[in-house]
Structure formats: structure tokens, C-alpha cells
Structure 1
């Protein structure tokens, strides 16, 4: 049984300000919880509707009912388990690799997918502008599918970060040079812009190379989703 104070605490974690105040966030789903349990993330509490859903003999979950789980879940159909973790300290950035930087990404699903892409393509550091959506948003955590355990996500003044970086800065633009014809280095920063407005003028002024994904279809087609564009660009970067 889960007590009212625990329900109140976990429900408060649906909001960013309480996640920041308490230094906690919650995760749902067996795969994602198990991924985080074997990472640097520290477990605060674990709830299951039946014993044995999470594969760890050292952890004793609290067994709760399906109705109780619905009270704290962010999902329409809860998956049977929910865990609360402490938000870790951001680690130092590895400048010997490609770094992805996000300029005002607002959709939590896009951010979660980009975190997964960074994990897939071996990008260990994701630098976000201060007004990019929170990586501990429940929808972001869900979309990241456990990759949050392996990607160092930090928030900062992006213009200051780029101005102080010694790496070349590549930005994704509709009018940029074709990525398939670009001479890409072994390490650099790749900047991806806001879903509606692209890269902001302030950040654009700090970009050394504008790259684009050339369009082969009808010209009336809208621009690519930022997560889709990130996948194509990271694939081409690694192909080189």
C-alpha cells in the first residue's frame, strides 16, 4: 500500500519545478527502470503491482495495486512498475568526441528520441539551451528508453558554451551545404534548432559551418522533424 504523502510527492514530480526542488524524477517501464538501476542513477523508491517485475534481488519494492499505480503514473495504461530516482550531478563534457547541442527544443518526445540517437551513435554529451524542455520530463524519459543512463545531458547558456568551445560548430539549416558533400571532422559540435523556428539568430552567429539534408522529393514538402534530421546527420557523421 502506498501512503498519501508518497502519492503527493510522486504526483508533484510530474512538474519541472518540483523535480528541481526535490532533486527527484520518476521512471516507468521495466526496461527503462532496469537500465537506470545499472547506471550512475541512485534509486529513491520502487513500486510494483506484482513482485519480480524488476530484476534485482537487492531491491525490495513496495507492492501496490493497479488503482494506486494509476494515481501516480503519467501513462494512460500504467506498465506495472514505477521508480523514483535522484537527479545526478552533470558530468564534465568530453571534447574528444562529437557533441550535440540543442537550441530551444520544446517537444519532450523529440528530446527523448534525440537522447536515444546520441546513445546509438556514441555521442556521450548532449548540451541543451536553458529553455530546452527538461530531460526528466516523464514523456522525455519514456521516449529515451533508458538511454538517459548513458548520455550526459546538461543545461547551460548555449551561446556562451559555443563561444568558449575550441571545436568547430556545425548547424543544421535548410539552406546549408549538403551534408553528403561536406568534409566532416572527427570531433565537433552539431547544433539542432527549435521545431518551428530553427536555430536562433544569436546561435547562428556562432556557427562556423551550415549543413543541410538535401531534398530529393517535391519542393512543397515541409522541413524534417528535428529528431529525424538528427538521425540522418548523426548517421552521416559516423559513416565518415
Structure 2
């Protein structure tokens, strides 16, 4: 059974200030929790139905989570979680410090500027995982990685793709790799010379890449359109651009 204090904690983690204060975040649903078990994130508590616990008893024992697992009803989980369809398992997990990565040679790094929509950020993390991108560098005004909507949209990819938040201008100014940026007036990506050792900057749908970060772009690229749509969703555009780089 989920106690009142535990329920209060779970609900509080919907708020960024509480996630920052406690250093905790939520992972919900069987798919995301299963990916969590294969990562180095530390689980604080697991709330799960008897059916889930029985089905995964060997795994919970192997991961030393039996003592941290609290049996709960589907109704309790439904009320506790933020997902409409979550009635099986919820994990409270320790967040990690936002450390900037060491970049290897011949590595594409995705950079997100002002991407504030949690669903878009989560989907971009999932897309990055599909294309083997290990690191995403976000501006400080991007959505919070540990927002429940972000974690849900990654479908488990949050456990593999490392995401950092920092001042992009300072960070990119210190780099010596090519910096590609998505602009409406950029060069047709189908005709551009693309390298596998670079940064790829994507801006928000409403604001694009900020003027300050735009000053650092070495190669402006665009996705050519063949119809009448004014723009692409930033997550969709990211997938198309990564596909061109990987081809």
C-alpha cells in the first residue's frame, strides 16, 4: 500500500523545484522501468502490483530491489502516477548531476537550443538513441530531462543517452569541431557535405536557434520542403537531419 507521505512525494515530483530539492524523479510504466534496470540509475523505491512483482521476482532479487518494493493496487498506482495508462509500476529514482561529456573523435553530438516542450525533448532523446547519438547538450532554458513527460516520451532511451544542460554559447565557443545548425535559409541538406565529427544544433519551433548561438554556427543547413507546410515539428526535423548525417 502507498502511504500518504509516499503519495505526497510522488505527486511533488511532478514539479521541477521539488525534483531539484529532493534529487529524485519518477519513472513510470513497465517499458521505462525495464530500461531503468539496465542502467546505472539508483532506484529509491518501487511501487508495483502483485502481478508485476510475481512476474519479475527473479529480476527484483537480482537487482536487490525486493526490500525497496512496495506492493500497490492498480488503482493506487493510477492515482499516484502522471500517466493515464500507468497501473503497473512506478519507480522513484535518484537523478544525476548534469555533467558535460568528454567528446570522442568521429562522434556526432546533438545540441538543443530553447526546446521547451517536454514531449519534444523526450521524443528527440528517443530519436537520438535510435541513431546512436550518445550525448545531447541542452541550453539552460530547455525542458528538464527529469520532467515525467520527458521520461515517458523517451520510452526508455533516457537510460542510454546522456543529457546535459549548460550555457550553449560558452560551451560551443570552446569547441573546435564543425557546428551545423538548422535554419530555414540554410543549405539544402541533401546537397551539403556532412561529416561524422560535429555538433548539430536544433532550435525550438517557435524561436529557432538563438541569435547568440547562431553566431557560432559554421554550417547552416535546411530540410527542403516539397509541399505547403510552413514548418516541421522539431523532433521530426531532428530525425530527418540525423538520418542524413548517418547515411
> TM exceeds 0.5?
yes
Match status 1:52 vs 2:54? yes
Work out whether residues 32 and 156 of structure 2, in 8 Å CA contact, stay in contact via their aligned partners in 1: yes
Aligned counterpart, 2:138: 128
TM-score of the superposed pair, with normalisation by structure 1: 0.95
Aligned counterpart, 1:153: 163
Match status 1:93 vs 2:102? yes
Give the whole-Å Cα distance in 2 for the aligned partners of 1:106 and 1:90: 17
Report the secondary structure of 2:60's partner residue: coil
Task: Give runs of aligned pairs for residues 165-176 of structure 1, distance below 5 A.
Answer: 165-176=175-186
- The one of 188, 197, 203 aligned to 2:207: 197
Shift of 1:5: 1.1
CA deviation digits over 1:92-124, x for unaligned, max 9? Answer: 332421100000101111100110111111110
CA deviation digits over 1:179-217, x for unaligned, max 9? Answer: 111111121000000121111111111111100001112
Task: Give runs of aligned pairs for residues 13-162 of structure 1, distance below 5 A.
Answer: 13-50=13-50, 51-52=53-54, 54=56, 56-58=59-61, 59-60=65-66, 61-91=69-99, 92-96=101-105, 97-162=107-172
Shift of 1:2: 1.4
Q: Which runs of 5+ in 2 are unaligned?
A: none
Work out whether residues 27 and 33 of structure 1, in 8 Å CA contact, stay in contact via their aligned partners in 2: yes
Q: How many residues align?
A: 237
Task: Give runs of aligned pairs for residues 198-213 of structure 1, distance below 5 A.
Answer: 198-213=208-223
Work out whether residues 178 and 214 of structure 1, in 8 Å CA contact, stay in contact via their aligned partners in 2: yes
Report the secondary structure of 2:195's partner residue: coil
Q: Which runs of 5+ in 1 are unaligned?
A: none
- The one of 164, 168, 174 aligned to 1:164: 174
Give the whole-Å Cα distance in 1 for the aligned partners of 2:126 and 2:56: 22
Shift of 1:68: 1.8
Give the whole-Å Cα distance in 1 for the aligned partners of 2:55 and 2:80: 18
Shift of 1:39: 0.6
Report the secondary structure of 1:78's partner residue: coil
Shift of 1:53: 5.0
CA deviation digits over 1:144-186, x for unaligned, max 9? Answer: 0000111110000011111111111100011100111111112
